[in-house]
Amino acid sequence: MKHLLIVYHSQSGNTQRMAEAALAGATNELITETEVRLLRAADAKPEDLLWAEGLLLGTPENFGYMSGGMKDFLDRTFYQVEGQILSLPYAIFISAGNDGSGALRAIRRIANGYPFKEVQEPVIAQGEVTDEHLGSCEELGMTLAAGLEAGIF
Ligand SMILES: Cc1cc2nc3c(=O)[nH]c(=O)nc-3n(C[C@H](O)[C@H](O)[C@H](O)COP(=O)(O)O)c2cc1C
């Protein structure tokens, strides 16, 4: 089995809905060889990152940056996994009031250090999270899981 980790932070539920859509995609009945773990950022530990062979990170944009909860997860895990992760395939989803670019830039910058390798375009919901956004997150989850199974990433 391959291992896909989905870590998200959400205060008012929008990013959580995106995370749940990604989970639905990653656990689609066509996916048979990938185990998926969905965790709130506050509950995710270095061991979860070491378990993962693929990663989805979801955050709201707060004050032009990733949320404090997501930053805390990255702060808590970096030194614990340093040198033990070669290049973890990952992708990002963001819920933003009207932008999202600051959160995206911040995650990408930190991800280089782990290192994580971005393997899919990010999904950014600007404003209300629509069914289309949720569909894109579902597709993102399925693509990561299927890609891990197929050994593409
Ligand atoms: C403290 C705070 C700061 C925010 N700053 C931004 C921002 O800089 N840019 C933006 O586009 N949206 C901003 N927003 C809006 C959130 O990104 C948006 O409401 C998002 O959907 C919240 O996601 P959540 O429901 O998962 O918490 C901010 C919201 C809060 C609570």
Q: Is the CB of 136 under 6 A from ligand 1?
A: no
Q: Is the CB of 54 under 6 A from ligand 1?
A: no
One-letter amino acid identity for 129?
V
Pick the CATH number of 2-150 from 3.40.50.720, 3.40.50.300, 3.40.50.360, 3.20.20.140: 3.40.50.360
Integer Cα distance of 86 and 88 in angstroms: 6
**16 CA from centroid of ligand 1 (Å):** 13
One digit per residue, pLDDT tens: the chain, 153 residues?
999 999 999 999 999 999 999 999 999 999 999 999 999 999 999 999 999 999 999 999 999 999 999 999 999 999 999 999 999 999 999 999 999 999 999 999 999 999 999 999 999 999 999 999 999 999 999 999 999 999 999
Phi, psi of 58 (to 5 degrees): -125, 130
The full set of domain ranges for the chain reads 2-150
Packing angle, helices 101-113 and 68-81, rounded to 10: 10
pTM score, whole prediction: 0.98
